[in-house]
Amino acid sequence: MSPRDLVVGPWGARFMGRRFPCAVGRGGTGVKRREGDGVTPAGVHRIEAVLVRAGRTAAPGRAIGPRDGWSDDPADPDYNRLVRRPRGYGHEAMFRADRQYDMVAVLDWNRHPVVPGRGSAIFLHVWRRPRWPTAGCIAFRAQDLAFILARWTERSRVVVRGWAA
């Protein structure tokens, strides 16, 4: 592991010699079995894209708008992808009233290839409140996530250690 790897464990996260409190899935970290299980998948992941809410953050990334969503419906041909709303399949709104998706780093979990039902939308994002469990993502304070993303490199990885909630 490198200091430029974001290492997530039961105590929080470590990146570039600093420690950060974070929240993980309500099912802890470990083997992700299916969509909706609340588990943050253990393993080594890469950030594929950064999405930002223009006007709410200065972080660089692709701007998201009111019609953007993320498909979480295994029956959707665009499952586990950024989609345009409205649509006839289940999805999560990316343009939210709260600040959780002001900065979103999309991890490569179940992306190449996409396997319907294996789990979607594993993101790094802003937490709802301190250490409040997520649906499977990894969430940080806004300023901590901004610090991490500003220093991220092509060689950086997200390393999630397995443990039960």
pLDDT at 163: 74
Nearest to 99 by CA among 38, 60, 145: 145
Number of domains in the chain: 1
Q: What is the CATH number of the domain that holds 67?
A: 2.40.440.10
Tell me, what's the pLDDT at 165?
Answer: 53
The bridge status of strand 123-126 relative to strand 138-140 is: parallel
Residue 55 located in a structural domain: yes
In a structure prediction context, what are the per-residue pLDDT tens digits for the chain, which is 165 residues long?
788 999 998 779 999 999 999 999 999 999 998 999 999 999 999 999 999 998 898 888 999 999 999 999 999 999 999 999 999 999 999 999 999 999 999 999 999 999 999 999 999 999 999 989 999 999 999 999 999 999 999 999 999 998 755
- Please indicate, yes or no, if residue 41 is contained in any of the structural domains: yes
d(C-alpha 106, C-alpha 124), whole Å? 7
pLDDT at 3: 86
Q: Is the dihedral of CA 7, 160, 29, 164 positive or negative?
A: negative
Q: Is the residue at 67 inside a domain?
A: yes
In a domain, 136, yes or no: yes
Structure tokens at 73: 């419906």
Alpha helices in 51-153 (DSSP H): 142-150
Specify if 108 maps to a domain: yes
Range of the domain at 99: 6-164
What CA–CA distance (Å, rounded) separates 133 from 85? 26
- 1 inside domain: no
Half-sphere exposure of 8 (CA within 13 A, CB side): 27
- pLDDT for residue 164: 59
Q: Answer yes or no: are the C-beta atoms of 82 and 68 closer than 8 Å.
A: yes
